[in-house]
Structure 1
Amino acid sequence: MAAAAPAPRRRTPRWTECPLAEVRRYLEPGPVVLVGSAWKGRADLMAMGWHTVMEFTPSLLGCVISRANHSHGLVRRSRECTINIPEAHWVDAVVGVGNCSGAEVDKFERFGFTAEPAREVGAPLVGECFVQIECRVVDTRLVNRYDFFVLEAVRARVDRSVRRPQTLHYRGGGEFMLSGPHIGRRALFAPGML
């Protein structure tokens, strides 16, 4: 059995109140993704940071797509989308995608992304992203109230040539955090908990 790591030294906190609207800045650990959607010949791309893993098998993901976004209607009508993870060097293009509406501009063309056909859904994949996940909407009960979609991943692929990618993590207020160094603790996990 491996020796226990020494406990981190406790620091003296300097507490200050946090505005409740900023709580998300500390809880959003997932990478910023690009959501591909399409309906009746209209394709769109949106930047999203509000998503979560909900289940392993079947692979369920939850995400918020605001009804203020053009993509909301496309995903709602088609009941499918793609989730694509860009590397951090795409940050300016990702911000650009988030700053305009797909109802007015072809975001793939404007920001230099390649729309690739998916195999299981009609929504486009983003060719420049190192992870591409094809999803179907499997539960819409929370869409009307919270704009929360439950998706099932029906196909996924990863570019294995991208080793230890650096991803973007939005913290609000126009600030991103980048994924950091990798540390391994596989030997400390109980069987079945990986």
Structure 2
Amino acid sequence: MNRRIFIKKTIFPAMMAGLGGANIPNLISEHSKDDKRIRLSENGPMIPPVPAILLTVNGRLGDPKEISVVWTFVLEGKPPQIGISVADYHIAGDLIKMHEEFVLNVPTADMVTAFDTVDMNSSKMGDKYALSKLTEGKAVVVDAPTISEAPIQVECRIFNTIAVPPHRTVFFADVVATTVLEGVCDKSGRLIVPNVSFFGMTAGSGEFYTMGKPVGHIGKTVGRNDIKY
């Protein structure tokens, strides 16, 4: 495996997973504003795509280390801060409160089966590393496990917590270290998207999609191409 590169004081960009196929017929575009709009019977948080992220955190004394799928979002680029939302009935929430630090592991498309195995199984079923056949690694700054197969690992330390009724907790965290596998970023620390088969979850369909073709960049309209976050 390629050596892992340590990038100080950075965070992963929100993983924008696009439709992988370019020849899909009847695509909805910005030119469809006159089409009829339908109100759905179910009010859902349909804001695709969302990052597919595997959180790792130490377990209780004598228990296996925990892997969990969590909702993740970027708070700030400078200073680097992220937020995660965890259901109170998941063991990960109590473990995060206990240890106050964790790692966000960004998976690749060939890890989809492992990702879904983690998501669909409780730690009560057994060690999630064993269930998913993922490899346990060790973080470089925080006291937490990692997933060695993940090309990006974002190490986090909590600075605030908010209870969100009816049964969720949002954790706000500083990013204290980011490591990537060699070839994932250039020498300046900019992500080389085509080099990694990222995927995302499409809230609203429950499907996973890899990233599609690039359609622009932050700052395009003002002639800038130096903005990463």
Please tell me the TM-score bracket, short chain as reference.
0.7 to 0.9
Residues paired across the two proteins, number: 183
Deviation string, structure 1 residues 44-65 (Cα, Å, up to 9, x no partner): 00112x2211111221101101
The correspondence for 1:98, drawn from 110, 119, 132, is: 119
- Please report the TM-score for the alignment, with normalisation by the length of structure 2: 0.71
1:83 deviates by 0.2
- Does the alignment pair 1:44 with 2:44? no
Structure 2 residue runs without a partner (length 5+)? 1-28, 185-194
Aligned-partner Cα distance in 1 for 2:80–2:48: 20
Aligned-partner Cα distance in 1 for 2:108–2:205: 20
- Equivalent runs, 1:105-124 vs 2, <5 Å: 105-124=126-145
Letter in 1 for 2:139: A
- Does the alignment pair 1:165 with 2:202? no
The correspondence for 2:103, drawn from 75, 78, 82, is: 82
Q: Which consecutive segments of 4 or more residues in structure 1 shift more than 6 A?
A: none
1:9 deviates by 6.8
- CA 1:88–1:14 in 2, change beyond 3 Å: closer, same or farther? farther
RMSD: 2.4
For 2:208, the equivalent position in structure 1 comes to 176
1:28 deviates by 4.1
Q: Which has the higher contact order (CA 8 A, sep 6+)?
A: 2
- Equivalent runs, 1:1-194 vs 2, <5 Å: 10-11=31-32, 12-22=34-44, 24-25=45-46, 27-41=47-61, 42=63, 43-48=65-70, 50-140=71-161, 142-143=162-163, 145=165, 146-162=168-184, 163-185=195-217, 188-189=221-222, 194=227
Aligned-partner Cα distance in 2 for 1:180–1:190: 23
- CA 1:189–1:87 in 2, change beyond 3 Å: closer, same or farther? farther
- Please report the TM-score for the alignment, with normalisation by the length of structure 1: 0.82
Aligned-partner Cα distance in 2 for 1:168–1:107: 21
Check the 8 A contact 1:166/1:180 in 2, yes or no: no
- CA 1:108–1:150 in 2, change beyond 3 Å: closer, same or farther? same
- CA 1:100–1:21 in 2, change beyond 3 Å: closer, same or farther? farther
Structure 1 residue runs without a partner (length 5+)? 1-7
Aligned-partner Cα distance in 2 for 1:139–1:129: 26
1:129 deviates by 0.6
